[in-house]
Amino acid sequence: MKVIIVLISLAFFLVLTGCDTNTPQNGAETAGPIVCLGDSLTEGYGAGGRDIVDKSRSYPAFLDGRVAASVVNAGISGDTAAGALARLERDVLSKDPQMVIILLGANDFFRLRPAAETKADLQTIINRTREVNRKIFLASFIGDASWEQAILSSMPGMILVTPLLSNYKRMFEELVLENSDIRFIPDIWTGVWGINMSDPIHPNANGYRIIAETVYNAIRLHL
């Protein structure tokens, strides 16, 4: 009889406290995923070796191991801001994400696309993604001075490309200033550039792991 009373009391306590061994903590049951929208730097190009895409060792995959929410890799190698905008509904909005991390613009820059056009596409992505309680992080593909020197030296017509890079740097500054609700990740390359690389412009698996840690440190207080 005492055993039955104890079991009934325990069941009543569990109902009151909402305990459920299958319910994730911190509201993870109802929170949407984190979607990483980007190009080769998101998809994981080079993570499996030179010219080899390995999504299992991309930065979203490593990030997935650091957060309670699921992480969706919406990166496509070679994609531009315009390309990402065209697939935004399918790859991002349909997932009903709680957070979107945008890492785009590198291919636009390498194709010498005017920064103003890229900015317009990124702004449209931000506008369409923005909803109540949906957090948006914008990451820059541009690194520090050593990154700039290496990239500019590798591109023909350096004297013409230098102003374009300045325009892209200004583009990110303007997007952050004009969208006070988004958060900025200014440099993904710390500890990666020139050290953990699979080719001159893509990280290796360890590089993507470091990028994931940089992103995690930027978003963890907002999860």
Provide the pLDDT for residue 223: 87
Provide the pLDDT for residue 179: 98
d(CA 117, CA 139): 18
Total domains present in the chain:
1
In a domain, 108, yes or no: yes
In a domain, 2, yes or no: no
Provide the pLDDT for residue 30: 58
In a domain, 88, yes or no: yes
In a domain, 73, yes or no: yes
Q: Which domain holds residue 39?
A: 32-222
In a domain, 1, yes or no: no
In a domain, 24, yes or no: no
Q: Which distant-in-sequence residues (6+ apart) come within 8 Å of 107 by Cβ?
A: 39, 78, 79, 80
Alpha helices by DSSP H, the chain: 2-17, 40-43, 59-64, 81-86, 88-91, 106-110, 115-129, 145-154, 158-178, 205-219
In a domain, 56, yes or no: yes
Provide the pLDDT for residue 142: 98
In a domain, 138, yes or no: yes
d(CA 223, CA 207): 24
Average pLDDT, the chain: 89
Say which CATH number the domain at 120 has.
3.40.50.1110
d(CA 159, CA 153): 10
Check pLDDT > 50 for residue 5. Answer: no
Question: Measured between alpha carbons, how far apart are the two ends of the chain, in Å?
Answer: 47
Choose among 134, 124, 63: nearest CA to 96. Answer: 134
Question: What confidence tens digit (pLDDT) does each residue in 35-85 have?
Answer: 999 999 999 999 999 999 999 999 999 999 999 999 999 999 999 999 999
Confidence band, pLDDT 50/70/90 cuts, at residue 159: confident
Check pLDDT > 60 for residue 17. Answer: no
Provide the pLDDT for residue 25: 42
d(CA 51, CA 54): 10
d(CA 67, CA 35): 12
Check pLDDT > 50 for residue 126. Answer: yes
Q: In what order do the strands lie in the sheet with 183-185?
A: 71-75, 34-38, 99-103, 135-139, 183-185
Q: Which long-range contacts (CB under 8 A, 24 or more apart) does 53-56 make?
A: 53/77, 54/205
Question: What confidence tens digit (pLDDT) does each residue in 72-89 have?
Answer: 999 999 999 999 999 999
Provide the pLDDT for residue 154: 92
